[in-house]
Amino acid sequence: MSLVKSVSLVNNELDTNGFVTTDAINYVTDKHGSVVDVNSVKRSTDRISEKTPGRYMVTYRYGKASGKVTVTVRNDANEGISKADAKLGKGGNVGKTWFPHELAFRGNYITPHTYVGTDKHGKKTAKLTTKFYEPNSFSLLEGSQETNVRGNVQGFDVYGQDMVTTNFYGGPESSMDGARGHMVLYQLNQVPKYALQYIPTKTLNFQLWKNYVKSIKISLYIKLGHGQSVGSTSRYIYELANWNHSKKLRSNELLQIDKKDMQVKRIWTFAVSNGKRENNCYFLNADVIDDNIMLALFHSKFNHRFEIWKITRTGNSFKVKEAATTDGDLISNSSQVQGFTYSVAHKCYYIAFNDYLFKIDAKGNLANYYHFNAKREVEGLASYKSKIYIAMNKRAKVFDSNMAK
């Protein structure tokens, strides 16, 4: 049995979900060494409420395996309450994009692709070029969701030569409450650009595959939430394990995964509230700046604006401040955001929709936008130094661009 080392929860009297104690399970095996469904593990309690500060001990047992996790609800009832006071930047509504069920393009890609995007002046100023082909599957045989690692990517991040993706058994799994999946960590300078797409076919011989996997790590079947809010640093991966269909007030759940063994080490929940707790920001897109700072994107449909919040962690406590806000919905037909990142090199934010990429300056103004006629669903956005990376599906591929203009 492997359990999370520590869980720290925000004091949120309005949270309707609490902490689900199965989230603290990395894995449990039976007497044969096979991973078991976490819901079959006996727990002393199913949920921990965030309404009452204190320390709570949760015990876990499956056969002869057992363990304990201490869950702490922090004392400060005002933590995360701030004021959305950033000056409103000029944005607008640029155009319409498509939803995945409308125009999702399917195909097997063996050769690289390049997509050229036009900016707001109609000039061809942006180019996306294939950087990496992701494997269709890591599993040779059909198996359970716990053991079958497929290439249904929902989010990704790049840090140096490390690229991490969130992978689900099937597309709908990422939209389930409490969704679990696998994280895959690649060393891009150690794995081939194209050959991994042939896994698990006979085109790639077993000896080559053995050499490639030395530079790939895969997590166990862990809590990921929607999977799109993933970021990383030199040692850790961070994931906002939020549910993309939540209608009730919830706190945000942040996981810290160690790159060494791909296991969850710590879990925090935090709240971001504008003025009072009822004005809750629940994030589906975020970017990690370092091990203590995260930027998260919130779309206020009521106010028709995008809010970017800076979330700073000190130990187990969180401070929040609105960093920028942009007027308008950017896309006029309410299509969902498919990726968000902050470019340190360009000192600006990028927001991705299907076939659209928006560049927002540090003050929240729409600096430029780029339209690509790719007709493929975007599955995440990342940046490192001057590079911007975009993941697309059908099939899963990663593109890069300097995005200098």
Q: What are the tens digits of pLDDT across the range 266-305?
A: 999 999 999 999 999 999 999 999 999 999 999 999 999 9
| Cβ neighbourhood burial of 385 (10 Å; 0-12, 13-18, 19+) | exposed
Whether residue 287 sits in one domain with residue 165: yes
Distance between CA 115 and CA 352 in Å, rounded? 15
Last residue of a domain, one of 51, 73, 95: 73
Same domain membership, residue 97 and residue 49: no
Q: What is the pLDDT of residues 218-237, one digit of tens each?
A: 999 999 999 999 999 999 99
Average pLDDT over residues 50-78: 97
φ, ψ dihedrals at 221, nearest 5°: -80, 95
pLDDT of residue 172: 85
Q: Which domain holds residue 364?
A: 87-246+282-401
Is 119 in the same domain as 213? yes
Q: Do 215 and 320 fall into the same domain?
A: yes
My answer on whether 240 and 187 are in the same domain is yes
pLDDT at 106 > cutoff 60: no
Encoded tokens for 289: 């700046």
Residues 137 and 168 in one domain: yes
> Phi and psi of 197, rounded to 5°?
-65, -15
Closest among 182, 188, 341, 319 to 264, alpha carbons compared: 182
Domain boundary among 73, 96, 118: 73
pLDDT class of 27 with cuts at 50, 70, 90: very high
**Reported confidence tier of residue 404, pLDDT bands at 50, 70, 90:** low
| CATH at residue 24 | 2.60.40.10
E strand or H helix that includes residue 272: strand 272-274
CA distance 364 to 84: 13
Sheet arrangement for strand 348-353 = 339-343, 348-353, 356-361, 366-371, 114-118, 124-133, 397-401, 387-392, 378-384
In a domain, 277, yes or no: no
Report the mean per-residue pLDDT for the chain.
Answer: 92
Q: With respect to residue 239, please indicate whether it lies within any of the assigned structural domains.
A: yes
- Residue 295 domain-assigned? yes
**186 inside domain:** yes
Q: Is the pLDDT confidence value at 109 over 90?
A: no
242 pLDDT tier (thresholds 50, 70, 90)? very high
- Report the percentage of the chain scoring pLDDT > 90: 75
Query: 68 and 95: one domain?
Result: no
As beta bridge partners, residue 343 has: 348
My answer on whether 57 and 163 are in the same domain is no
Residue 81 within any structural domain of the chain: no
Please give the Cα distance from 353 to 244 (Å, whole number): 16
Residues 124 and 199 in one domain: yes
Radius of gyration of the chain (CA): 21
Give 34's DSSP letter.
Answer: -
Assign 95 a pLDDT band (cuts: 50, 70, 90). confident
Structural domain contains residue 31: yes
- Within 8 A by CB and 6+ apart from 109, the residues are 130, 133, 197, 395, 397
The verdict on residue 209 lying in a domain is: yes
The string of pLDDT tens digits covering residues 134-174 is: 887 887 666 788 888 888 899 999 999 999 999 998 878 89
Q: What angle do CA 345, 153, 117 make, to 5 degrees?
A: 50
Closest among 209, 210, 220, 211 to 185, alpha carbons compared: 220
Domain count, the chain: 2
In sequence order, what are the beta bridge partners of 368?
A: 359
pLDDT at residue number 405: 54
Q: Which of 32, 49, 73 is the endpoint of a domain? A: 73
| Higher-pLDDT residue of 309, 113 | 309
Residues 65 and 195 in one domain: no
Q: For residue 108, is pLDDT > 60?
A: no
Token reading at 382: 């990342």
Residue 262 lies in a domain: no
pLDDT value of residue 170: 81
Output the DSSP codes for 74-86.
-S-TTTTEE---S
- pLDDT tens digits for 300-353? 999 999 999 999 999 999 999 999 999 999 998 877 899 999 999 999 999 999
Same domain, residue pair 62 and 99: no
State both tokens at 66. 């057992």
pLDDT of residue 110 exceeding 70: no
Sequence-distant (≥ 6) Cβ neighbours of residue 258 within 8 angstroms = 235, 236, 265
In percent, the amount of the chain with pLDDT more than 70 equals 96
The reply to whether 126 and 27 lie within a common domain is: no
pLDDT number for residue 73: 98
